[in-house]
């Protein structure tokens, strides 16, 4: 069984989806720790309710980013996880920590990368009248939302879509696709090779370079 650590900054709804999939044996793994950089994150309450131990490493208590990341890295080393999942973790991590954990750190981002790295992705998709929108899951590098892409979940945007409606639909596919990818990584079906290229085993890519799934929502 793989040891999973989840990093959060907010509500933790994806954390709950991951834990539920572990508990139902859809993921051959266990969330051994939740780490938040924000002591007020609601996800910490979710973790407590789910019986998952948590740790607060408050970035505001450090003089600079390097000190914060050194503390985070030291704690991750103690946990020795097989997989680190950034699920709504709102900090950009530097090259030292991302290079160290490149092959076992993934991030969920709410856009179809390389479109819209950073914040306010749903607003950007709507204001640009995009026909499609979605989420991306990728290995983490020091460049913002730019590590090797693993998978994307795609939805159609409707002409009169409201922001809240889009956010709800995006959350729905997040809660489905992220546990699916974590499950495949834990099985060894998705991994970075020595050239830092993603290998897929027992997964039909349908002649695409990455796994893309269209959701009818």
List, by residue number, the catalytic residues.
109
Question: β-pairing, 83-86 with 149-156?
Answer: unpaired
Q: Are 97 and 73 in contact (CB under 8 A)?
A: yes
In degrees and rounded to multiples of 5, residue 11 shows phi and psi of -70, -30
Measured N-to-C along each axis, helices 163-187 and 13-23 cross at an angle, to the nearest 10 degrees, of 40
Q: For residue 182, give both structure tokens.
A: 């974590």
**132/152 Cα distance (integer angstroms):** 12
Q: For residue 85, give both structure tokens.
A: 């999942």
Instruction: Quickly tell me which residue has 């489905």 as its tokens.
Output: 176
């Amino acid at each position: 069984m793989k040891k999973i650590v989840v990093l959060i900054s907010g509500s933790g709804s994806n954390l709950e989806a991951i834990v539920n999939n572990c508990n139902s044996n859809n993921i051959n793994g266990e969330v051994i720790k939740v780490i938040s950089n924000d002591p007020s994150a609601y996800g910490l309450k979710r973790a407590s309710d789910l019986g998952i131990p948590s740790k607060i490493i408050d970035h505001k208590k450090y003089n600079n980013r390097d000190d914060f990341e050194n503390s985070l890295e030291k704690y991750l080393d103690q946990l020795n996880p097989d997989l680190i999942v950034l699920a709504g973790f709102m900090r950009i991590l530097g090259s030292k920590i991302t290079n160290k954990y490149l092959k076992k750190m993934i991030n969920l981002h709410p856009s179809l990368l390389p479109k819209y790295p950073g914040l306010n992705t749903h607003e950007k998709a709507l204001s640009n009248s995009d026909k499609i929108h979605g989420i991306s899951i990728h290995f983490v590098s020091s460049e913002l939302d730019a590590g090797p892409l693993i998978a994307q979940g795609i939805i159609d945007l409707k002409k009169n879509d409201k922001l809240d409606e889009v956010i709800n639909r995006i959350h729905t596919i997040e809660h489905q696709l992220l546990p699916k990818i974590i499950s495949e990584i834990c099985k060894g079906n998705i991994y970075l090779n020595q050239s830092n290229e993603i290998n897929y085993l027992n997964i039909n890519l349908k002649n695409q370079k990455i796994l893309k799934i269209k959701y009818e929502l």
